[in-house]
Structure 1
Amino acid sequence: MPLTDEDAALQAIGNLDPLTKEQHDAKEKIDAILNTEDPFIDIHELFALYNILYFRSLLLPRVEVSWSNRLTLCAGICELVRDPNNGNKYSSIRLKLSEPLLKYRPRSDVINTLLHEAIHSYFFITTSWSHSRGDDGTGHGAGFLLLADAVNNHGGYEVTVYHTFHDEVDSYRTHIWQCDGPCRSQAPFFGLVKRSMNRAPGKTDTWWARHQDECGGAFVKIAEPELSKDQVERLSGLKRAGRQKNKIDAWVEARRETKAERGPLAQEVEELDEPKKRRELSPPCLPAKRPKATVSCPICEADVAEDSINEHLDVHHPP
């Protein structure tokens, strides 16, 4: 029978008193790293040391630590990896930290997040992948709380149950839809769905059926991030033209709104002033050319422009 989270937590806690020489050495190296003022840390080096100090040297090499630039909903995550050569059973873990959410946070947030996910990894490995989801279904049950509290007390850390940084998460939710039904006027969401990925609300969302029954409105996209230069260049000519049309439509609409905000009197003055503006912008009219006076050549009697008669005589009737 596999260990429970509580049993695994007690084994790790019992390993902290007394510390072995290897644990002492790991703690000294950790303290040396944390005593520097360098805001950047090597998560791989720290993880290896924490593995020795707190997790009975059980995490490596089964846990792979890395930064993720696509993880934008939470600061860290444990991905369980199956082995197709062993009956598709779980065999290893990818521990990922969110680069977008953590890169501007204090160094302590990175360390606490690393320890938080390391605790989850420890429970997955020691309980034969049956890590308890706890009363709240998130994996932060009694065993997690026991071990997190012990780590915090031992090293002065602040490992908490949750490590989502709401302001940072929201800043990456740049794809926004709003419902055109009744729920758009209801708190707390006002019909808004914000996502970091371009995935429109639909049947795959757990709340979709309830929304259809209670509201029935359709979601319309109202905001999205600007495309990069490379993304714009990859667009087809038709799509690129459509984007340009949208920009022109938005400019026209903004101009209409500006006129509306200025009021009817300002619009009336502007309309009265339009002919003057057109006159100012139009190119100046050139004076009409008058026909040149002609005279009859005294020799050949041909009609010749008055100012060209001498040239005509020199060319056609030389002396």
Structure 2
Amino acid sequence: MVKVFIKIAFLIICTIVAYSQEIIIERADVDTTRRSFVTATMNFRVKVKLYDVTNCTGISFVLRHNQADYIKFSNFKPSLFSKDGSCFVYPWVNPIDGIARIYTGILNGDTIGGKGADNPEAIEFEFSVDPNAPNGGIVEFSFEDAEAVITKNNIGEIIKLKNQPYLFDIHGFVNVWPGDANNDGIVNINDVSVVGLYLGYGAKKSNFRSFKRLEASTKWFPQSCLAWDSLAITYADCDGDGEITINDMLVIPLNFGKTQSRVNEFPNENTLISAAQPQSNENNTNCSIPLKLSANEEIVAFASEVEFVANFSKVNAFGNRIENYNESFLF
């Protein structure tokens, strides 16, 4: 029994060693509490690094991302890894699939038998986020053809690099109704508690970004505002000055009892969506099945089957039907 356990443990360790050489990206512009999202009108930076790679002398990869209409390559910064070598970057957007790709090749200048570098930082990329980037959208970064050149036994060897996708939520412009601090569609006493919960948030809080509303008013109409680092706190800024203060509570009685003229397209970040009990549809009527997956949350497994499908319609974020499907689906 002991021998079997030792053998299994040895196989697990060997598997980890054999497949842990990977290429990763890390946010270089914000602290860890804000690394899961990007914000419209703002630039953001990511670093490309290698993990568990020793004696590396060269790196090549393609970094790709969706949302190419809104996420634009802006600049790059070579790392110390290539200071004695060379680096080239070629950004390109495929007009067919709309995917942006950044072709990258880096050599550190070492010749055959050179020591190279361990776990090198490869390069830093900067991107800009278009002002029209949709709030609630998701940008996905992933790698293609990722390889590294390493020195092994005094000769060169090319290895494939393991990689995974990276998801970032997009914070764009949202509509704020003055007084509806929890964005539930009505101004009531519960909004006072929300203002109290977020008192002190604003430009003066460290590692936090807030934004004023242009031509802010306390009158009851939707006012566009760039989502703060916390979307929920954005709605608590009832007077639109970019700070959560006692003055925001004073707006609530001005619009008390008023309701929004339309239902929210997206729930706020504090809203939980629970799965409903299975329902049958024997009358062949139209059914809406909402599904939301948040970026950068671990998903152990997801499986569901639609047993009866009459006419599936794909609906975009604005409620417009854009395509019909007349077939069954297995998710």
Same fold (TM over 0.5): no
Measured against the shorter chain, the TM-score band is under 0.3
Higher alpha-carbon Rg: 1
* Higher normalized helix content (fraction of residues): 1
Greater RCO, CA 8 A, separation 6+: 2
Q: TM-score, normalised by structure 2?
A: 0.23
